Structures are given as structure tokens and as C-alpha cells.
Structure 1
Amino acid sequence: MGELTSLPAEVSTQIFEACDDIVQLLALASTCKKVQSVWVSHSSTIIWAFGKSNIRCFDLALMVVRATTLVLKASQANSPPPTFPSMSALSGKALKPNVTELKEVLDMQHLVRCVEYMYFNSTRRDENLFGVVMLPSECRRGTHYGDDEEAWKDRFYRAMYQLLLAGPVLAAAYDAPFWGAKNEGNIVFLEHCTRKLSEENGMLDEMTTGDGFNEMDAEYARQFPVYNYDIVTDYSSVGKWREKEYESLFSPFAEWLVNEANARERRNPEPEFTDPKVEFSQFSEVTNNRGAVQDLMCLLAGYEHLICKFTNVNGKKGYGFRRHTDPSSVLPVQWKKRKVTIVLFGVFRVEEVTMPSIIENTVDVLLNIAVHPSLQDTDQASFDMSCIIDFIDQHSCGPDFGNQNPYPPAMFQLWFFTLRRHLHLGFLRGAFWQWYEGTVWEQFGTGDVFREPRWAIVQPYVEGKVSWYLGSELDDEA
């Protein structure tokens, strides 16, 4: 120990950075006063180097933690979520992490590990984004990670962290009607965006506050561009206005994702896609943006699998997209638990997730989630964007595509915009076709997209065409 304490601080720092895990790192920091002083003086540099070497997607997880913290602080101050004009400002490259952020990164990592375990092992069968039953986890268990477990994990973890980053980054856009109504004193709109739960079965009941969400409420919501997602064309007057607004709302995140993914692809190209059995491989059309398309496909599959892993175990509100109360997921009192704060993409509310400390205990439960404790007694606890989306879905302005070729979920506007604006691509014809002829969502459910990095459902973008719709070559102006 005397030799260690006599070393220059720079050398001691390098020893810290060489630790194999967090337990070893913290044990070394507490050995004696001199070593502890090195830790205190250089902890940010040590954590940054250690995290990059030992924690998968460390910088991305750090960005999630920082963005979530900023939205939480704004919410606690009774203010709208902040905007994020620069993703790079959240990176450890801009500001090295501190000890508190390291703990929060480890909690975020535990969440993703729980989701990964549930992805392969959960006994639950829950609905997917289109309201049909999710393929059971045993469909994925046979192939598991594929030929390269580390590459699979990189894709999966990256997609989950990107989703957990998109939540706080885009919260300002999706929460705008609530803050607009709050500032304008539009109490009726806010009341109509509150859901109650049936006491009998704990499932979402109809909107029962006031007279329920109606056309006037929808007209108010449509003042905000993201709630015009059912206007499928980009050449109508509304479509042009919406696309212009999307530039400021979506581009910071979309451009960052595209640039990061393509840079990674240039540094470390993925193997070519060669499996003739899997359909919808259109990478012959994609030459310079393979990394970006891969990340977008993994992000899409990640959204499908992440959002169904949570339950409102407290039963107080019907928060979120098809989220329900599941008493069977109440964690036993004797279990050790961990908590993490997130802003879930598709819900856009600051919430706290309670997880079992032992990851394997997620095999037959959903993850408990509730409005963040510091916000439970505020009016923000009643913000429920699914009320708006459900009404717009039922009273759509677009053409009737029918059940077998439904509209993609509202959140898919991020993908439509990123593909079109930054990659000049669109979704493949028939991409969302279901039931008898559908194969895409089966492939998402079985995890092909994480095993096959060249899998994609894209084609060149053509202005004026709804590329993914099977029954129409050119759509009328909506």
C-alpha cells in the first residue's frame, strides 16, 4: 500500500482506470486517505475512462441520465420540458461524469439488463403496438444472440438507450398541448385528458372525466405538429406546415443518430446480409447510410419490445399507451429493489421504475412504474397523451386503410421524418401489412433485426406517395 500512496497522482489515476468492475473501483477509492484524495480530485476523469472501458454504451447511457435529469428538474419547477438543440452537449466528451451520474448510469444499465432478460425469458404475453398479442419470448430463445453475442448486445443496448434518450429529448414536442392548455387556462382540455381505471379489473376504462375528449379538444391538439401524424402526405398544406415544424422538433435527435451511426459503420462495418430466407432486405438501395438505417430498424424493434414491459402497479391512473394495472407484478416486500427515473418514449412523462435487484426475478412480472414521487401531487400527474392519440386514431383525417393495413402508431413520425429528411428513404411497400400475409412484425417479434444488421424495410423516397400502403400508388391530398 505504501508504494501505491507514494505514486504520482497521474499514475494512481491510471490504476483506478484499470479496475475491472465498479466494486473494485470503489474498494480502491476507500483504501486510505491519500488514495481517496486522488479519487476525489480526479473522479470525473477516472469515471469517464472506467465507464468507457467497462460499461456497454456508457456515454449513451450517460446522455440518457443527463437529459432525464433536465426534464425532471423542469417538471419539479412546474415548467415545460426543455428543448435539446444539441445532443453532443449531453455527452461525456463535453463534460465528464460525476459520482452521482455514475450511480444513475448503473441503475439505467440495470433497467436495460432487465428488459434484455425479459426479451428472452419472460412468461408474459403482452400486446404490441398494433394491439395484437406479442410473440412469446420462446420464439426468440432458440436463436438467442446469434453468432456474435457481443455484437447483438451492442445493437440491443444501443437501441434501448437511444429510445430512453428520445423520451426526454422529444418530451417538449409531445407535452406541448398540456403546457399550452395549462398556461392558457384551458381546464376543460386538461380534464378530458385524464383517464380512470375500472375498479373491477384494473384495465383502462373510457375517458370518464367531464364529457370526454371530443372534436374541440382534438382541434386544439392539432395546433401542435406532432398531433397531425394521421395526415399521411407531406405535400398537403397541413403536411408542409408539419414537416417544417418537424425540422426544429426532430432534427437535432435525428441528425445526431444518423451521423453517429454512419460514423460507427465507417469505423467498423457490419457483415453483409446474406440470408435469402428473410424478406424485406433492401440494402441494395442504401450505400452511404447503412449504419443509420440499421440503427433506425433496431430502434423500431426496440420500441416494440420496450414499451410493453411496464405496468402501473399502483393502479391510480391509466398512464401511457395501452398500459394497464397488473396486481400480479407487485414485487414481494422481501425482495431487494432498485429504482431508476426515466421519460419513456411514447409516454413522455417523468416516471420512476422499480425493478427487482435480481434480474432473473423479472421472468413472470412486468416492471413497476409510476409518476415520479416528486410530481404525484401536481397537475402534471394527469397529463396523458394517449387520450389524444386514441381519439385521433378513431376520427382520423386520412384515408381508410383498413385493419389489415393500419396506420403506423403515432410515434413512428420520428422514423418517417428521419428516413425522409436525412436519408431520402421511406418504409417499404407493405411494411405494416398484418394478419395473413404479414411477416415484418413477426420478424420484429423474433428479433431478426438484432441478429441481422442488414435487415431493413426501406425503399427510396418518392414525394407524394405513401410508400408503405399496399393499396395505393399515389394518394390524394389529405
Structure 2
Amino acid sequence: MASPTSLPAEALTEIFDSCDTLQQAIALGSACRRFRSLWLSISSPIIRRLGRAEIRAFDDALVAVRATVIAQKHLADGELPPGPFPFHQLGPETNPPSHDELLGVFGYEHLAKCFENIIWHDLFKGTVGLEDFDEDPEGWETWRVGFHASMYRLFLIGAALCRAYQEPFFLRDDDRPRGFLQRLKTAISEEQYFVRSAFDLNDTQYLLKYPAYNFGDHEGHQQIFGPLVEFLVCLSKARAQGHQLKEVSSLFESMGFTNPPGFDDNEASTVFTELVQLLFTYYQLDGLYARLVTYQKRNGECIRSRTRLREKVHLQPKKTTVIIPGAFYPDEFCMPRQIEDAGKLLSVRPVDLSMKTAALSADFPYENLDILLQCLHRASGQPNKYDEFFSTHEPHYEFIQFLCQRHLGLRFSEEAFDPMKEESHYSLWEGERSVFDQTMQDIQAAMGMFTSADTEYEPYFEEMECMI
């Protein structure tokens, strides 16, 4: 009897095409060298077909994996990620997925499930678990697809904007102050980095040269945010063609906003809905990531660091690398195999980047960008140009503000980030969970966050002359 390995390639290809799951196809491709070689050569269309059927928001995960690989490779080579970022290389239509990219998608899916588990238990203080949603499987699946897609888009954003935020730390600049950020580094080691004195005036003047750190430089923001925002909007518009959101075809009219030019009703509703979902996920990710940061003793000093791998995680290694927006540095997440253990065992550490360019600054890439941005935000006085009584959004949310004004004719409302107001960012997102239900009522819960913009584009912040 003939061995399966003796079958012609055409017949083996038909066998691969008949696989019902990715695991079946991968297992078949691992059977022998010939099967492995054939699988690697024909896997792309099979991966995409089965991946879309099995993995929530598969295309979004694939885009995020590719963006992270590009950014991480450049950083490891001692270079800034490319600018402009090569978004044209990310789409599955023009660049079919490979076997290695599928493994990356598996890692991102597992991490998204870990985040999902932690967030749901946090929202309900442990009184509601994922198993309680068996009564409404369709609604629960809608929630999960929206959450996973938003999480993957955040990973894309972190990779795509990494260059803009790491740029001040790249090659040495004659204008860079001597002892750049030394006061901040000292403040971090002493856990005193939230005081205004942690930021040196010369450091501030230097950072203001870079658009990502100058919150009022909206012309510069077009250069760093524009291509990313266009890419995200194109993704949303493409999804709008494939499905109609529940009850929200006239979302903008129902909220009293003017439908933005260049969008039909469903496209505008989809872009806004996915923006709201992205903002919710962003806020939750900020809080979760902050909990994974600790202080450790090193050479007698207290050094801020991500959590170290714990012994149990060493025994159950599932790892994936992500660039979190706000941190803009590659982090390796070590995940438990059992999702329900995520709250106890999920940990993160900075990726060890081996620099190849000796002329680089010792600070590149900089690991504490999240603290730097928070300090810069505080040092600016948080000037809200629409009402100085209210706080502004944190700096790494600026690209969302840019998207709102550039494409939707909206901006954050004056009181959106006021922690004392009922419909504020903090009150709304702290306990919100229904923004992924895609119904009129749930999406309108975010209405207080936004208002119509008066002009084509204006920064939410006042110019930062007070900082200089």
C-alpha cells in the first residue's frame, strides 16, 4: 500500500484544503519534512480562510503582528522604526499570512483573552464570570469580537507611533541638554516622579522640538498621526461595507451631530462606534499595564521595572511581544496556559534589544516613556483651551482627538476628562462594559465625551508657552 508521503503534491494540497481547523492543518504540516515543506508553500490562503473562521478579528490581529515585527526589528538593529510607517505592507489582501505570522496571531489572541478575563472580573469585582454569559451567546460573541479587534488595533498603534515617541532618544543631538532626563531618572528611582520638579526646564524645551511631545503642534501631528489615522479609518470604512451596525445607521443624527463629509451613514456610525470601543479598551489597557509595573532593588536603588517572570510562569511559558501605546517600547508578555490564571500569573518584562550601532544614545530606546509623558502633562499645567477649569486628556490619547476632528468633525468635550463629573472619562469608562454591544443606547452612553468641533482642526490643548 502506498504511503501518503508518496502522493503527488496536487493530492496533498487537496488534503490540506480539506482541513476544517488550523490545528488540523498545522498538525498535518508537521507530519514529515515533505508535508512541512508543502505546507509552508501553500499555507497562506488556508491560514486566512481558517483563521477568519476560528480567530476573532483575525485580520486585525495579523496587521498588529506585522506592525510589531517591523518596529521591533528596527529597534533591535539600533534604528528608529520606518517613517512613514509601511501600512501598505500590513494588509492580508496584498500580503497573505505566513505560518510564522499565524503563530504570532495565536500569541496575540491568547494575550487578548487574558486581558479580557482580567477586565471582566475587575468590572464586576469578581461577582460575574465569563461563564455567566452562556445565556446570551450571540451578545457575548459580539462583545468579544469588538474587544479583541480594539485590543489588536491598540497593538498596531503602539508599533506605528513608536518612532514618533522614541525619536528624541535616538542619535545624539547637539541641542540635547547635558544629563538629559537625569532628574526624572532620579525621581523614578526614588518613586518621586509625579512631582513637578521631576522635570527639568531644559529637558522640556528640547522635547518640545518633537511634535509627539508638543501637544499644541497640530501641524506636526498631521505628520505623525495622519497616516495612522487614515489607515484606521480605511479599515473601519471597509468593515462598514460588510455589515450594518445594529440600530445605529443614523447615529450621528440621533446625537445631534452633523454627518461628516465623505462618509455615508453606516460608514460614519462604524468609524465612531469603533472609535468609542477603542477608547474604552485603551483606558482599560492603561490601568492593567500600570498594575504590571513594579519597583525593584538594583544596586541599592529602587528601580521602576515591569514585573519579573514568576516561577509558575517559567513552567508554563507562553510568550508574545507587544508595543503598548503610551509605553512605546517592546514588552514581552509571559502568559499562563490557562486563561483563568491570568489575573495571578500574567507578567511582563522589557524586551532585551541588542543594539548594533555604537553611536546611539544610551537612552535609546527609552523604557519609561509612560512616566515621561505623564510628567510632561503635569508640567504643562494641562491647559484646556475650551475651558481651563477642566483637565485635558493624557498625551497618548492625542491621536484619538486628531482622528475625531480630522474625520468626524468632533472633539473631546470640555468636561470629558473631569474626574468629578458623572459623564466624565473616568466615571464613564471605569464601569462601562456595553460599548461593544453595537446598539444605539450603548454607543450613545459615550455621547458626553464628544462635542462638535468648530473648525477643521484645532488642538485641544493651548500652546505650551507656559512650559518654556
Give me the TM-score of the superposition, normalised by structure 1. 0.77
Question: One-letter code of the match for 2:158?
Answer: G
Match of 1:222 among 208, 229, 237: 208
CA–CA distance in 1 between the matches of 2:223 and 2:274?
21
Task: From the superposition, tell whether residues 39 and 370 of structure 1 become closer, same or farther in structure 2 (CA, over 3 Å).
Answer: same
Paired residue for 1:75? Answer: 75
CA deviation profile, 1:269-316 (whole Å, cap 9, x unmatched): 111159xxxxx9727644351111111111111111113223146837
- Gaps in structure 2 of 5+ consecutive residues: 260-264, 299-303, 357-361
Q: Deviations over 1:9-50 (max 9, x none)?
A: 456435424434333222222345654443143133332333
Aligned match of 2:21: 21
Residue of structure 2 aligned with 1:356, choices 309, 314, 336 = 336
Q: Does residue 461 of structure 1 match 2:453?
A: yes
How has the CA–CA distance of structure 1 residues 221 and 197 changed in structure 2, closer, same or farther, with 3 Å as cutoff?
closer
Question: What's the offset of the Cα at 1:153?
Answer: 1.5
Offset of residue 430 of structure 1 = 3.0
Q: What residue number does 2:272 align with? A: 293
Greater Cα offset, 346-355 or 383-392: 383-392
Among residues 206, 213, 217, which one is paired with 2:193 in the alignment?
Answer: 206
Q: Counterpart in 1 of 2:310?
A: 330
What is aligned with 2:301?
none
Report the equivalent of 2:143.
Answer: 152
How many pairs does the alignment contain? 433
Aligned to 1:176: 167
Question: Which stretch of the first structure deviates more once superposed, 243-252 or 438-447?
Answer: 438-447
Aligned to 1:57: 57
Q: Is the alpha carbon distance of 1:437 and 1:305 closer, same or farther for their aligned partners in structure 2, counting shifts above 3 Å?
A: closer
CA 99–316 in structure 1, closer or farther in 2 if over 3 Å, else same: farther
The 8 Å contact of residues 197 and 316 in structure 1, kept in 2 or not, is answered as: no
Structure 1 residues 121 and 375, CA gap change in structure 2 (3 angstroms): farther
Residue 352 of structure 2 is matched in structure 1 by 373
Distance 1:176 1:370, change over 3 A: same
> Aligned pair 1:342/2:328, yes or no?
no
Seen in structure 2, the aligned counterparts of structure 1 residues 249 and 135 have a Cα distance that, compared at 3 Å, is farther
In the other structure, the counterpart of 2:368 is 384
Kept in 1: contact 2:317–2:335 (CA 8 A):
yes
1:421 to partner: Cα distance:
1.0
Name the CA distance, whole Å, in 1 between partners of 2:238 and 2:174: 42
Letter in 1 for 2:280: A
Distance 1:476 1:39 in 2: 56
**Alpha-carbon distance in structure 1 between the residues aligned to 2:272 and 2:382:** 27
Structure 2 residue matching 1:315: 3-state secondary structure: strand
**RMSD of aligned C-alpha atoms?**
3.9
Contact preservation (8 Å) 1:405, 1:432: yes
Task: Report the secondary structure of 2:435's partner residue.
Answer: helix
Q: Distance in 2 between matches of 1:306 and 1:250?
A: 20
- 2:255 aligned residue (258, 282, 289): 282
1:410 corresponds in structure 2 to 395
Secondary structure of 1:354's aligned partner: strand
Question: Offset at 1:390?
Answer: 3.1
1:264 aligns with 2:231: no
Q: Map residues 85-124 of structure 1 onto 2, 5 A cutoff.
A: 85-122=85-122
Counterpart AA for 1:170: L
CA distance in 1, matches of 2:118, 2:107: 17
Is the 8 Å Cα contact of residues 67 and 165 (structure 1) preserved in structure 2? yes
Identity %: 26
Asked whether the 8 Å contact 1:119–1:137 carries over to 2, the reply is: no
Give how far 1:173 is off: 0.9
Q: Tell me which of 287, 294, 297 is aligned to 1:308.
A: 287
Contact 1:63 1:90 in 2 (8 A): yes
Q: What is the CA–CA distance in structure 1 between the aligned matches of 2:5 and 2:131, rounded to whole Å?
A: 52
Q: Is the Cα contact below 8 Å between 2:321 and 2:331 reproduced in 1? A: yes
**Pair 1:419 & 2:411 matched:** no
Q: Indicate the SS of the match to 1:370.
A: strand
AA aligned opposite 1:213: F
Evaluate the alpha carbon distance shift between residue 429 and residue 13 of structure 1 in structure 2; reply closer, same or farther with a 3 A threshold: farther
What TM-score do you get using the length of structure 2 for normalisation? 0.79
Matching residue of 2:359: none
Is the contact between residue 211 and residue 220 of structure 2 (CA under 8 Å) also seen in structure 1? yes
Kept in 2, the 8 Å contact 1:340–1:354? The answer is: yes
CA distance in 1: counterparts of 2:13 and 2:388, whole angstroms? 60
